[in-house]
Amino acid sequence: MLTSVLSFTPEMAATVTEYCTNSSNDVSGDMKELWDWTVGEFEDSDKMSSPLQGATMQFLAQLLGAKRILEIGCYSGYSALAWYEATKQTNAEIITLELDPKMIAASRRTIAKYKMADRVHLIEGKAQDSIETLTGTFDIIFVDANKDGYETYVKQILDKKLLSPNGLIMCDNVFARGMTISTEANPHLPGKVRPYWTECGKALKRFNNFCKNDPRIDTVLMPVYDGVTFIKWKQ
Ligand code: SAM
């Protein structure tokens, strides 16, 4: 195989996702419950990470022995719960940032319901402002908020040296449903959301160029989910 992605139809992609999910670690009952609640509660629940992504995050958190995690974009708290469960051994502090009052309320409900307040700290407001207040370093930084902010956030993180020496930055949705690559890349993207993702694609193209060219970092863009970029300090 000479390419890194297979050409799936949407139906095949769903089947492959199900196969990979079933062949990976199961997520907990609490995560399943929160997933169902979020899907039932919010029309835009496709913003939430998938169970397979949740299992991946937990795998990575344990692999890296994360003691401090920063999450930019909390939504309903699904990924925060994934980080929380995966770091029971290391007792990690998890700082999560959220702007939208509706999602702040949902996140606060999640933090209370799953008894995460001892280690999960939600900072309300614009991520850019919240990042400025942060000190110390993080072993994992999950960038998953507004797509036109990614470049600013990662620049802030690098300039403030918020990433620990062996830490990992993980940026979700860098494909923007394919629009980062080309506006022709995804004929299946519904017309209703196409203008939104087209704009995201332009911002993420600039972000991907930034990552490729910043001399401080190593970067790999993985063709999984909606495109995930992994970043670490150059050694
Ligand atoms: N990490 C979550 C998960 O895996 O389930 C999903 C996060 S969702 C893709 C993005 C979230 O970022 C939304 O809840 C949105 O309100 C929030 N957001 C958007 N712009 C933001 C900003 N400027 N500052 C902080 N949060 C923001």
- Report ipTM for this prediction: 0.99
Ligand 1 pocket test target in 36, 74, 84 with most atoms within 8 Å of CB: 74
pLDDT at residue 33 greater than cutoff 90:
yes
CATH superfamily for domain 10-233: Vaccinia Virus protein VP39 (3.40.50.150)
pLDDT at residue 5 greater than cutoff 90:
no
Confirm or reject: Cβ of 99 under 6 Å from ligand 1: yes
pLDDT in tens, 132-170: 999 999 999 999 999 999 999 999 999 999 999 999 999
Nearest CA to ligand 1 atom 20: 146
Question: What is the mean predicted confidence (pLDDT) over 222-230?
Answer: 95
For residues 137 and 160, give the distance between their C-alpha atoms in angstroms, rounded to a whole number.
Answer: 9
Confirm or reject: Cβ of 207 under 6 Å from ligand 1: no
Nearest CA to ligand 1 atom 18: 145
Domain ranges of the chain: 10-233
pLDDT in tens, 18-30: 999 999 999 999 9
SS3 90: coil
Question: What is the mean predicted confidence (pLDDT) over 4-29?
Answer: 92
Q: Give, for 217, the enclosing helix (H) or strand (E).
A: strand 217-222
Question: What is the mean predicted confidence (pLDDT) over 38-52?
Answer: 96
Rounded to 5°, the CA angle 193-197-201 comes to 165
56, 5 Cβ separation under 8 angstroms:
no
- Give the nearest ligand 1 atom to 149 CA: 23
Amino acid letter, 227? G
163, 141 Cβ separation under 8 angstroms:
yes
- Helix-then-strand count for the chain, H and E: 8, 7
Please tell me the distance between residue 103's alpha carbon and the centre of ligand 1 in angstroms.
Answer: 8
- pLDDT at res. 1: 64
Q: How many CB atoms lie within 10 A of CB 155?
A: 14
pLDDT at residue 191 greater than cutoff 70:
yes
Please tell me the distance between residue 92's alpha carbon and the centre of ligand 1 in angstroms.
Answer: 21
HEC sequence for 20-44: HHHCCCCCCHHHHHHHHHHHHHCCC
